[in-house]
Amino acid sequence: MATTADIKNGMCINLDGHYYFIVEFLHV
């Protein structure tokens, strides 16, 4: 499970079998 600390701009993650490409991540 990815956490907010693991997510950075331009990163591709695999979450629950789905791939997500993080174009822009805003940490609130």
pTM value surpassing 0.75? no
- How far apart, in Å, are the Cα atoms of 27 and each of 3, 9, 13, 16, 17? 11, 11, 17, 21, 24
Mean pLDDT, range 10-21, rounded to an integer: 78
Q: What is the chain's length?
A: 28
Mean pLDDT, range 13-27, rounded to an integer: 73
Range of the domain at 24: 1-28
Residue 24 has pLDDT above 70, yes or no: no
Burial 5-15 (b: 16+ CB within 10 A, else e): eeeeeeeeeee
Domain count, the chain: 1
The model's confidence at residue 15, banded by pLDDT at 50, 70 and 90, is confident
Note whether 25 and 18 are within 8 A (CB): no
